[in-house]
Amino acid sequence: MEYRMGTKCVQGGYTPGNGEPRQIPIIQSTTFKYATSEDMGKLFDLESAGYFYTRLQNPTNDHVAAKICEMEGGTAAMLTASGQAASFYSIFNIAGCGDHVVSSSSIYGGTYNLFAVTMKRMGVEFTFVSPDCTEEELEAAFRPNTKAVFGETIANPALTVLDIEKFAAAAHRHGAPLIVDNTFATPVNCRPFAWGADIVTHSTTKYMDGHGAGVGGCIVDSGKFDWTAYPEKFPGLCTPDESYHGVVYTERFGLAGAFITKATAQLMRDFGAIQSPQNAFLLNLGLESLHVRMARHCENGLAVARFLQSHPQVSWVRFPGLETDPYYSMAQKYLPQGVCGVVSFGVKGGRKAAEAFMKRLRIAAIETHVADARTCCLHPASATHRQMNDQELAAAGVSPDLVRYSCGLEDAADLIADLDQALNCLE
């Protein structure tokens, strides 16, 4: 039976048996005992399912990953130590030295730095395109060695909305999967697989956790991309893996499981960026209320955006839920149930005025975090995106006056009153 999203949030991923724990148990153990070396050897050879070392897999994590997989409508999923790790693994699982990736320029600053600096040092080259690029401009970005396309459903903090269908169609024309970071929308408000995306990533640290309690990430595979149609492009999935006794992932695990199994067997084995079972447990507690919380986040975001739109100290407002926003029609297509609780806006007077305004806020805390129960704010140009130059900031949609305001679950009237008093101090 196919359950609705609210039921998946609460019940997905784990079904206790008779006399078993009602809550997902925390398996806080690094290792697992086996009766014989032969039994363990089958695990190392990927001939049997099971656990032998938490650096690769853990039962607590797998239950939570299964819930997110169900929510996104995928076939396999894995948790990672952070959203950054999820972004890295999703790319590096199929692209290595000498390969090329196309990415939207309107992405989180940390992800941009990962792609443009760190992964460039590893030999993976990225071409960044505007999310608003024409079909022709997008087509021109591809190369014969393009292995993937990457974008964010709702970009952090520019709040551009990705035309998933356009980017998916372009990726597929060139035999590449579309990877979409769905952190801000969550599967409650958007399921990218329904629009042609092939792989979805999350920073579970944000809305999914919902309380700023644990850092984490997740990768979900749709199981729809046919790696075997391009064996020369994806040899890691379609040819024998000598580090695992010659296993061919697409043959052994099919399209439904090949990508995630390879990411676990190779990348988690070698890099070990696994989410702790304790954090996975906390994440699941957040997931159980995600469908309820997102509605309130969206409600507060829209109320705050409408207030800011009319305030004389605010020069511009970006929130795709506003009828006047340039991405409103795109949001109506991909996010008809709501956008998110994050509002980006410009304070008249530029960077100094923005910083002065933020200091006067009483409810919203100035912090690196975003998207949880407590309202917070940030000046991205001097924080999360400070490693980017002016040209890169402009491409990412981050202006010097931009304030990222993340609406929590407080009363909207109190948030608006707080914003009003802080802005009025600038007069």
Tens of pLDDT, residues 339-354: 999 999 999 998 889 8
Express as a percent the part of the chain with pLDDT over 70: 96
For residues 400-410, give the mean pLDDT. Answer: 93
Q: How high is the pLDDT of residue 40?
A: 84
Number of CB atoms found within 10 A of residue 53's CB: 17
For residues 46-68, give the mean pLDDT. Answer: 92
Of the candidates 92, 55, 65, the one whose C-alpha atom is nearest the C-alpha of residue 274 is 55
Residue pair 256/74 in contact (Cβ under 8 Å)? The answer is: no
Domains in the chain with CATH codes: 8-284 (3.40.640.10), 291-424 (3.90.1150.10)
Q: pLDDT tens digits for 191-223?
A: 999 999 999 999 999 999 999 999 999 999 999
Say yes or no to pLDDT of 9 above 80: yes
For residues 118-132, give the mean pLDDT. Answer: 97
Task: Write the DSSP string, 346-399.
Answer: EETTHHHHHHHHHHT-SSSEE-S--SSSS-EEE-GGGTTTTTS-HHHHHHTT--
